[in-house]
Amino acid sequence: MTADAVTVPSSRKVGVKSSLKRNRRWALIASYAFLIIFAIFFLTPPYYMIVTSFKSDAEVARMATNPWIIADGITLDQYKLLFTQTDFLIYFKNTAVVTVCVVVITMVVSVLAAFALGRMKFWGSSILATGIFLTYLVPDTLLFIPLFQIVRSLGLLNSYWSMVLVYPTLTVPFCTWIMIGYFQSIPKELDEAALIDGAGHMQMLLKIFIPVALPGIIAATIFAFTVSWAAFVYPMAFLYSSDQQVLTVGTVTSLIRADVYKWGMLMAGALVAAAPPLVIYAFLMDYYIAGLTAGATKG
């Protein structure tokens, strides 16, 4: 169609253009229509979780009324119950402690290693870089059984400190991987200038590389945070008592104790537990997505 537009006289060109415009408008409307369908699919579960969490037990149990809306008015009873009658706050605290420790360990280890691998070639450095990438591809479900034995022999079974020990296997490879990329994108002239000024390697890292690669550091930190917040396999296998439990497993298993499932409270718990990653995502979406795509992987 555009090919015609190049050769035909200008009077017809206008007509072609407007029909093109019309086509574009229809394409746009179709795009919106399909996107709305996909958005409904993607947002139904979170929507239904929110709705359920604000219902009373009586309304949740009622079969006759429309479950997709709140008919009896919003109530905060489920949240009150969650915070006062269950161990939910203990799980929350445990997860927070574990996550903070894991994020700190991950960032220190991976920034140091990425700096060395991205900037200072040494014997075996490219093999190590490949090795890190391969480690990142090893799933936790392949390792949880031998790690169970190892954690048990260390006497850390049923202690959330074992999570601080094993979570770095989930976070360090990927964070190192994307930090290598960020560090390599920094021009070589910068560190030459620093070396001429007599800066040591540590000074160079702290004064130049970390500030310049800050977007990468934020992306890696978000990744480490979300992964250790959401980890499920290891706590499911290694932790069993309520005072040591973390949020994911605690919400999914321990809150379901009674004969009757308290779905309203469960949904409230799931939402509060999911809130920190969601809040971070809402405020730092660009960094979150940059980190995701930087790995060219993870799905």
Partner 1 sequence: MDDVVPQTYTAVLAGEPSRPARQKGSLRIIQRRSTIAFVMCLPLIVIIAGLVVYPAFYSIFLSTLNRAQTRFLGLGNFTFLLSRDVFWMVVWQSAIFAISAVFFKALIGLITAHLINNLPSKGQRKWRGMLLVPWVIPLALSTLGWWWLFDPTHSAFNWIIRGLGGNEISWLSDPYWARFSVILVNIWYGAPFFLIMYLAALKSVPEQLYEAAAIDGANAWQRFVHITLPMMRNIIAITVLFSLIVTFANFDIVQIMTSGGPRNMTHVFATYAFLLGIRSGDIPLGAAVSLFMFPILAVSAVFILRGVRKRGKEIG
Report 30-59 residues binding partner 1 (CB under 8 A).
31-32, 34-35, 38-39, 41-46, 48-49, 52
Of residues 84-143, those binding partner 1 (CB under 8 A) = 108-110, 112-113, 115-118, 120-123, 125-126, 128-135, 137-143
E strand or H helix at 230, and its extent?
A: helix 214-230
The answer to whether residue 203 forms part of the interface with partner 1 (CB under 8 A) is: no
Give the range of 10-18, 85-93, 96-104, 243-251 binding partner 1 by CB under 8 A.
243-251
- Judged by CB under 8 A, which stretch of 2-10, 11-19, 75-83, 86-94 contacts partner 1? 2-10
Among 82, 107, 163, 180, binds partner 1 (CB under 8 A): 180
Interface with partner 1 (CB under 8 A), residue from 90, 148, 156, 212: 148
75 vs 181, which CB is nearer to partner 1? 181
CA distance readout (Å), 223 to 102, 128, 138, 219, 277: 11, 22, 17, 6, 10
CA gap 255, 192 in Å, rounded: 57
The rounded distance, in Å, linking the Cα atoms of 299 and 288 is 14
The mark string for 209-238 relative to partner 1 (x by CB under 8 A, - otherwise) is -------x---------x--xx-xx--xx-
Give the single-character DSSP code of 158.
T
Q: What is the size of the binding site for partner 1 (CB under 8 A)? A: 115
CB 264 within 8 A of CB 57: yes
Residue from 88, 182, 223, 225 in contact with partner 1 (CB under 8 A): 182
Does residue 102 contact residue 167 with C-beta atoms inside 8 Å?
Answer: yes
Q: Please give the single-letter amino acid code of residue 199.
A: A
Rounded to whole angstroms, how far apart are CA atoms 65 and 72? 10
Give residues with Cβ within 8 angstroms of 49, minimum separation 6. Answer: 267, 270, 271
String of b and e for 119-153 (b: at least 16 CB within 10 Å)? beeeeeeeeebeebbeebeeebeebbeebbeebee
**What single-letter DSSP state applies at residue 67?**
T
132 three-class SS: helix
Whether residue 116 contacts residue 180, with contact meaning beta carbons closer than 8 Å, is answered with no
Single residue of 60, 103, 239, 268 touching partner 1 by CB under 8 A = 60
Positions in 280-299 near partner 1 (CB under 8 A): 281, 285-286, 288-290, 292-294, 296-299
CB of 285 to partner 1, least distance (A): 6
Unique residue bearing structure tokens 């009150």 = 80
| Shortest reach from residue 237's CB to partner 1, in Å | 5
Distance CA 175, CA 131 (A): 14
Judged by CB under 8 A, which of 10, 63, 196, 241 binds partner 1? 63
**x/- map, 10-29, partner 1, by CB under 8 A:** -----------------xx-
The one among 158, 169, 208, 210 contacting partner 1 by CB under 8 A: 169
Site string for partner 1, 255-274 (x = CB under 8 A): ------x-x--xx--xx-xx
Of 8-16, 86-94, 96-104, 180-188, the window that binds partner 1 (rule: CB under 8 A) is 180-188
